[in-house]
């Protein structure tokens, strides 16, 4: 009965939006009569491969809830997947947690908008919300192998939560520590779910732990000397589970600054990179594990040039991946099933850069130095929005869809809602 009522309400909300779009002279990307199945009507494919040249930035009305509209420049379908009324929420944000924490579960059947607790569980393909919530959503991550499992934390406890019924079980209590976090909100399990990096805190103490989720044992522990002037920003394990990255608050050329690399047992390998900036880890097109980041010293010294670079985790080789006047400020390599690409988006709309390629966009760049990109959509973000409204583009596991948040040009007071862009067989092509 609850599901039926929500379907009817979603249809009414969507119909109002459709009438508004028709009045504005725009067309829908789907003719499906039921908004909740519109996203399932076509086979999703990858966008065309192209360059990041300058294009027009359209300003269409906000898409109606659960109906896709056609992007007039890129040809993608843009769907709004959250709504205050349909979710029974008084205010936003109704969005995903982070660009580095996968929102889709391991088989893509569920999608979690987990910025607030409890989070909202949606159908991963149609995006329908039927009232199911996920506890401890803002501090947890999906398993990469079991679609029902969500890992989270509470105090010094590592939790396992069932997406099917919300059942919470304690996997491990880390005695001697007051709190633990999953990399300060920027970590994920290794692809095989064996390794998870935790940061443990207690009065006057801090440590990085590598916990083996399969064997249920801690395989690495590194005590961190307390330094308020240069705290640890985050820690994460690479997708293979063989490497661990620690990023410090201050840049520098010596260990304990910038970015350091460790192995799975937290034995020091090398100082990896001097700059401390937004980053993620993935694979390049040759199958090498890389640390992908932007805004290195070469970019800062050249005004608006903010190149994306990747650093090989094994030999430390640095390769410039993309260099334009606008590349964004968030990176995500959570497209585990489509290695060799990294997704980008911005966090602030900078008016002087509005005529540059990539401005206010969500897109993917090939990790081979070719400069090839897949362009999905414009974020439609206003300048000066608060942190919880920033775009933080996040790919689906297969890279055919990208999720982001936007105020849709409503300004700082507008709610942060979630959007997905994708290509169907008719408009996209593999590349």
Each residue's pLDDT tens digit, 295-319: 655 544 444 556 899 999 999 999 9
Return the pLDDT at 414.
86
CA 170 to chain centre: 26
Return the pLDDT at 351.
57
Return the pLDDT at 20.
40
CA 152 to chain centre: 17
pLDDT confidence of 384, banded at 50, 70, 90?
confident
pLDDT higher than 50, residue 352? yes
220-244 average pLDDT score: 96
Percentage, residues of the chain above pLDDT 70 = 83
pLDDT higher than 80, residue 350? no
pLDDT higher than 80, residue 260? yes
Question: Tokens 């522990």 belong to which residue?
Answer: 221
- For residues 267 and 38, which has the higher predicted lDDT (pLDDT)? 267
Return the pLDDT at 23.
40
Return the pLDDT at 186.
93
Return the pLDDT at 5.
44
Cα separation, 226 vs 178, in Å, equals 16
86-90 average pLDDT score: 95
3-state secondary structure of 2: helix
Tokens representing residue 165 in the block: 């019924």
Q: Which of 223-232, 268-277, 320-329, 332-341 has the lowest mean pLDDT?
A: 320-329
Q: Are 57 and 94 in contact (CB under 8 A)?
A: no
CA 77 to chain centre: 19
pLDDT higher than 90, residue 10? no
Contacts of 356 (CB under 8 A, 6+ apart): 54, 304, 324, 325, 326
Return the pLDDT at 54.
87
Residue 185: how many CB atoms within 10 A of its CB? 16
pLDDT confidence of 425, banded at 50, 70, 90?
confident
Q: What is the pTM of this model?
A: 0.89
pLDDT higher than 90, residue 328? no
Strand partners, 293: 279, 309
User: Over the stretch 213-230, which tens digit does the pLDDT of each residue have?
Assistant: 999 999 999 999 989 999
Q: Regarding the domain delimited by 132-274, which CATH topology (the fold level of the hierarchy) does it fall under? A: Methylamine Dehydrogenase; Chain H (2.130.10)
Question: Tokens 């942190």 belong to which residue?
Answer: 387
How far CA 352 is from CA of 59, 303, 348, 409, in Å, comes to 17, 12, 12, 17
- For residues 180 and 348, which has the higher predicted lDDT (pLDDT)? 180
411-426 average pLDDT score: 89
Cα separation, 240 vs 242, in Å, equals 5
Q: What are the extents of the domains in the chain?
A: 34-60+71-79+95-99+277-431, 132-274
pLDDT higher than 60, residue 39? no
Cα separation, 429 vs 179, in Å, equals 47
pLDDT higher than 50, residue 30? no
User: Over the stretch 14-28, which tens digit does the pLDDT of each residue have?
Assistant: 443 444 444 434 444
Strand partners, 169: 160
Return the pLDDT at 321.
93
Return the pLDDT at 318.
94
Q: How many helices (H) and strands (E) does the chain have?
A: 3, 30
Return the pLDDT at 42.
67
Half-sphere exposure of 145 (CA within 13 A, CB side): 10
pLDDT confidence of 138, banded at 50, 70, 90?
very high
Average pLDDT of every residue of the chain: 87
Strands 259-263 and 243-248 turn out to be antiparallel
Tokens representing residue 156 in the block: 């010094």
């Amino acid at each position: 009965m609850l599901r039926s009522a929500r379907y009817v309400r979603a249809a009414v909300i969507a119909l109002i939006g459709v009438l508004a779009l028709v009045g504005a002279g725009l067309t829908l990307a789907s003719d499906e009569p039921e908004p909740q199945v519109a996203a399932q009507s076509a086979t999703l494919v990858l966008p065309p491969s192209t360059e990041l040249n300058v294009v027009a930035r359209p300003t269409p009305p906000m898409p109606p809830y659960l109906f896709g509209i056609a992007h007039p420049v890129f040809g993608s379908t843009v769907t709004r997947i959250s709504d205050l009324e349909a979710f029974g929420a008084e205010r936003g944000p109704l969005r995903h947690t982070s660009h580095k924490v996968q929102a889709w579960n391991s088989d893509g059947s569920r999608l979690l908008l987990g910025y607030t607790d409890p989070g909202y569980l949606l159908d991963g393909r149609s995006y329908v919300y039927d009232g199911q919530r996920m506890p401890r959503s803002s501090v947890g991550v999906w398993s990469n192998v079991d679609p029902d499992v969500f890992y989270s934390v509470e105090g010094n406890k590592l939790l396992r939560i069932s997406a099917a019924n919300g059942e919470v079980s304690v996997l491990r209590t880390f005695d001697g520590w007051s709190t633990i976090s999953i990399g300060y909100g920027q970590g994920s399990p290794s692809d095989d779910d064996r390794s998870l990096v935790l940061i443990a805190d207690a009065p006057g103490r801090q440590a990085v732990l590598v916990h083996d989720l399969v064997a249920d044992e801690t395989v690495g522990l590194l005590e961190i000397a307390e330094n308020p002037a240069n705290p640890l920003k985050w820690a994460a394990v690479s997708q293979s589970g063989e490497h661990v990255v620690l990023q410090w608050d201050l840049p520098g050329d010596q260990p304990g600054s910038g970015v350091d690399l460790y192995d799975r047992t937290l034995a020091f390998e090398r100082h990896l990179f001097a700059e401390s900036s937004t980053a993620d880890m993935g694979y390049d097109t040759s199958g090498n594990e890389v640390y992908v980041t932007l805004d290195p010293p070469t970019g800062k010294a050249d005004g608006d040039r903010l190149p994306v670079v990747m650093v090989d985790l094994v030999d430390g080789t640095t390769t410039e991946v993309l260099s334009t006047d606008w590349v964004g400020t968030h990176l995500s390599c959570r497209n585990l099933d489509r290695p060799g690409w990294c997704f980008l988006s911005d966090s602030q709309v900078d008016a002087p850069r509005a005529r540059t390629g990539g401005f206010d966009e969500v897109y993917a760049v090939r990790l081979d130095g070719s400069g090839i990109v897949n362009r999905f959509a414009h974020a439609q973000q206003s300048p000066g929005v608060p942190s919880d409204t920033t775009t933080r583009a996040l790919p689906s596991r297969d890279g055919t869809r990208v999720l982001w948040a936007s105020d849709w040009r409503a300004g700082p007071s507008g709610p942060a809602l979630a959007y997905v862009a994708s290509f169907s067989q008719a408009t996209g092509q593999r590349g």
